């Protein structure tokens, strides 16, 4: 998965990965596993790059015939990852969590409602960080 995460940075390789249903599903499965945080993170990095591709949603739903349920694990795990970074005040991973959620919602806007629970904590973090900068 480490190599996959790296090659997704190359536009042509990322397109090939998006067009490979088994790789997309494998990324989803390995992202939500809990045994290896490094494996999960590598899958997140790879999928994040895929979400930047404007054709991802269409390819997933129309070509691969994936359903929205395929990405339920991503939504649940990304919310959990966000909440964990906030509770640990792990700001480097907080930025990564926010960026990945943002890219996912850009690719699958119909899923944005599922992230509504993060609005209040996001506002709180931004408020606290703004106060720190002002001081």
CA distances from 115 to 1, 67, 76, 120 (A): 26, 19, 9, 11
Tokens of 64: 């691969």
Can you tell me the distance from the alpha carbon of 32 to that of 59, in angstroms, rounded to the nearest whole number? Answer: 22
Q: Is the pLDDT of residue 135 over 80?
A: no
Selection from 36, 58, 38 nearest residue 24 by Cα: 58
Taking 80 as the threshold, does the pLDDT of residue 129 lie above it?
A: no
C-beta of residue 117 within 8 angstroms of C-beta of residue 79 = yes
Instruction: Give the pLDDT confidence of 52-110 residue by residue, as tens digits.
Output: 999 999 999 999 999 999 999 999 999 999 999 999 999 888 999 999 999 999 999 99
96: domain range? 2-134
Q: What is the tally of structural domains in the chain?
A: 1
């Amino acid at each position: 998965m480490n190599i996959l995460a790296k090659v997704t940075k190359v536009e042509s390789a990322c397109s090939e990965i998006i067009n490979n249903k088994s790789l997309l599903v494998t990324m989803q499965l390995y992202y939500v596993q809990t045994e290896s945080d490094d494996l999960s993170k590598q899958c997140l990095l790879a999928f994040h790059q895929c979400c930047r591709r404007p054709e991802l949603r269409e390819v997933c739903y129309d070509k691969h015939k994936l359903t929205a349920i395929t990405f339920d694990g991503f939504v649940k795990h990304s919310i959990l990852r966000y909440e964990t970074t906030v509770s640990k005040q792990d700001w480097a991973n907080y930025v990564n969590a926010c960026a990945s959620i943002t890219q996912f919602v850009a690719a699958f806007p119909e899923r944005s409602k599922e992230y509504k629970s993060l609005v209040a904590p996001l506002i709180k973090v931004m408020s606290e960080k703004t106060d720190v900068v002002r001081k």
